[in-house]
Amino acid sequence: MEKEKLEALLEDMSLQEKADQMLQLMGMFYQLDVNAILTGPAAAFGVSEEDIGMAGSILGTYGAQTLMEIQKNYMENQPHHIPLLFMMDVIHGMKTIFPMPLALGASFEPELAGRCAAAAAKEAAASGLHVTFSPMVDLVRDARWGRVMESTGEDPYLNALMAEAQVKGFQGEDMKEEGKVCACIKHFAGYGGAVAGREYHTAELSERTFRQYYLPAYKAGVDAGAGMVMTSFNTVNNIPATANQWLMRDVLRKEMGFDGVLISDFSAIQETVAHGYAEDKRDAARKAVEAGVDIDMMTSCYSGYLADLVQSGEIEEALVDECVRRILELKNKLGLFENPYKDADPEKEKELILCKEHRALAREAVGKSCVLLKNEGMLPLDLKKKTAFVGPYTDTRKMLSNWAVTGDQKDTVSLKEAAGEVFDQAVTTYHRGTPFLDRDMKLVGFESIEWKGATPEDGEWDEEAEERMFAQAVEAAGEAEVVVMPLGESFLQSGEACSRAMIELPRVQMKLLRRVAAVNPNIVVVLFTGRPLDLREISEIARAVLVVWMPGTEGGHGIADVLTGKVNPSGKLPMSFPYSVGQCPVCYNAFSTGRPCREGDNNRFFSKYLDIPNKPLYPFGYGLSYTSFTFSGVMLDRKEMSEEETITARVRVKNTGSLTGTEVVQLYLQDVAASVVRPVKELKDFEKVTLQPGEEREVAFLIDNEKLSFIRADGTVGSEAGLFRVWIGNCSETENVAEFRRT
């Protein structure tokens, strides 16, 4: 639609019609009997039949045929025949579920994340969807927070690259194109900084920390052209983000240049009342629209009060118009005025869903996201050896994650299925050994899911049945040469509203591990998890530890590829694994303090714990391979550079092992003394190199003024003269260092 026609449409809309364009409802409002809706959810929710008939968007419903019917019925009754926007949480796949986002972060391969997003967009678009609430680009440092699984990690540079790649994957060059959907950057802003890792909690961040660490990934997503941004639940400077004018108008709109649609998170506008910022829903509506929030997700604040606020003179109608204009412009960018169904096509949907190409990509992504933490000659597995698979993830399809809301467990390849294709079944046995969770553990809020003792497939367990499972598994482990133990969190233990104060494996699984270790020391732990865990005891007991995250649809195949050596692991930790929960939040790019504690220093008057080390058990950027690599010293082409000049830093990397492998060569910088304290290290670049046995290659990084820049004491951005250190190695704790000066 031409701009002039769009403006004419806006001008012809009634005030209430505009307010309802800013309303988003769940799909159930359009699928259930109208009388049941009006006397049930609508009555409780506070919306009228008129509001339902004119709401501008819906969420939580998918399927080409379903959405086409909803669109047709809606447009026939909408006063100006304006099409609906259909939105959904397509977080890491539509039906083909890829490894969870934190796992994709472990790949250190933004291009891979972009391809996964593009495949998800194809399936979502064919299913009738227009917008995905993804990517989540919140910086995460606290493993207690369940939503770390949705992020790509603790590093602003890596997160920014991943954000850019995913936005471009979802949207392409033009979101109107077939197979593309609008991306929604979330959650703006600072949501990952929740105090104590508790969901929906306050984020207490200084503005410098907020800008230097948390904002870059959002900015990268905006610069990549994201058509939508979602507000966060937390406060920023003691003001709820959803009603924060400085955050939304000054930072997001003016500084970052975002001109797309701003949507609240689920009920976030109304929640400003609970925050103690708005007096009631009417006040909440006023404050949110003044902040420039365009869409009210699942509350009646806008639909119920915006028209009255304008008519009473409390807000200008221009505020409403600017919001509705952005919504109409997004619908226009998607081509919905010309084709309200866009790519919805039941036949195309069947063709694309779980197609061969998407499954192959999912399998590739699993292989590249697995992180090998320990290996005492156990991996890759010798298929001729008698092997026992022992653990709750041995034969289950529940490895999609709590946020794979559109995925079907039945489509997932289990580890047992995949192992059955490559292992010699004459010498391979499979034993569950234990339920996922302790019998006394209750996952609060999951009562609607029929589960006993852990997850629905666990069934009813008593102590006697549990002991029989243990005995059978331990007996098999004692007879085997190698024991592969697929252990981990239940998929219900990470995700939204899944904060955990204790980040260890359930007691029942640790009991199984100890009993197996008593009869066979040759243990390979395959760890399924949505977050970093406390792995101290596991690392001591197991001879190999492979982190496979929540791997998705092709999890079984991808893991089997790595276990057997078909794929040599190359994943690196995108988030530090703490020594214990007492360190949380922990990250590699911290500050030194005035009394830094160095390893082996016994003086207690330094910044340290009495009972645990300062360092995480496994740091950011860490990950082993089945081969080995050596690095030469860091070579600089000059020892000084001006603000306008550059330095090239080089290393020679050699594969000194017997297998072809891929290493992630990582560049870190430190500004030794500056006008504000700077981190001990910051990732500034990386490159993945694949080398044959004995092959050696030079890897070069360009260091320019941008890599040295930061927010200086006076608030300006730039670099400062002084001493810099540059490290190049295979993780954040590398000691391969050189120095130069910025003159």
Mean pLDDT by 10 residues, the chain (743 residues): 96 98 94 68 80 96 97 96 98 98 98 98 98 98 98 98 98 98 98 96 95 98 98 97 98 98 98 98 98 97 98 98 98 98 98 98 98 98 97 96 94 98 97 91 64 46 85 97 97 94 96 98 98 98 98 98 98 98 97 88 88 96 98 98 98 98 98 98 98 98 98 97 98 98 98
- CB half-sphere exposure, 527, CA atoms < 13 A: 28
pLDDT of residue 451: 40
Q: Which of 714, 596, 683 is nearest to 157 (CA)?
A: 683
CA-based nearest residue to 333, from 187, 225, 229: 225
Query: What are the angstrom distances between the C-alpha of 629 and each of 566, 636, 728?
Result: 19, 21, 13
Catalytic residue among 265, 294, 296, 534: 265
Query: CB–CB of 495/403 below 8 Å?
Result: yes
Nearest-10 crossing angle of helices 110-126, 356-369: 150
Query: Which residue in this structure is represented by tokens 């019609």?
Result: 17
Residue 24 phi/psi, 5-degree rounding, is -120, 130
Q: Do 510 and 557 touch, CB atoms closer than 8 A? A: no
CA dihedral 64, 67, 70, 73 (to 10 degrees): -50
Q: What is the pLDDT of residue 34?
A: 63
Q: Is the pTM of this model over 0.95?
A: yes
Separation between Cα atoms, residue 214 and residue 127, nearest integer Å:
33
3-state secondary structure of 471: helix
Distance CA 654, CA 668 (A): 20
CB 529 within 8 A of CB 571: no
> What is the per-residue pLDDT for 454?
40
Positive or negative, the Cα torsion across 260, 214, 367, 552? negative
- State the virtual CA torsion across 329, 331, 335, 341 in degrees, nearest 10: -170
424 an active-site residue?
A: no
User: Element (H or E) spanning 37, and its range?
Assistant: helix 34-39
Beta carbons of 661 and 712 less than 8 angstroms apart: no
> How many CB atoms neighbour CB 531 within 10 A?
28
Give 353's contacts (C-beta < 8 A, 6+ positions apart). Answer: 94, 95, 96, 123, 126, 127
Give me the helices (H) in 252-345, please: 268-275, 281-290, 301-311, 317-333
Is the bond preceding 275 in cis, omega lying within 30 degrees of 0?
A: no
- β-bridge mates for residue 235, sequence order: 240
Closest-CA residue to 364 (of 540, 570, 508, 577): 570
Tokens matching residue 436: 């996922």
Is 691:661 a contact under the CB 8 Å cutoff? yes
So what's the pLDDT on residue 39? 60
- As a whole number of angstroms, the distance between CA 156 and CA 312 comes to 45
Residue-range domains of the chain with CATH: 3-349 (3.20.20.300), 355-575 (3.40.50.1700), 629-742 (2.60.40.10)
Residue that is written with structure tokens 């997001």 in the block: 252
User: Would you state the pLDDT for residue 711?
Assistant: 97
Q: What is the mean pLDDT of the chain?
A: 95
Rounded (5°) CA angle 19-39-450: 105
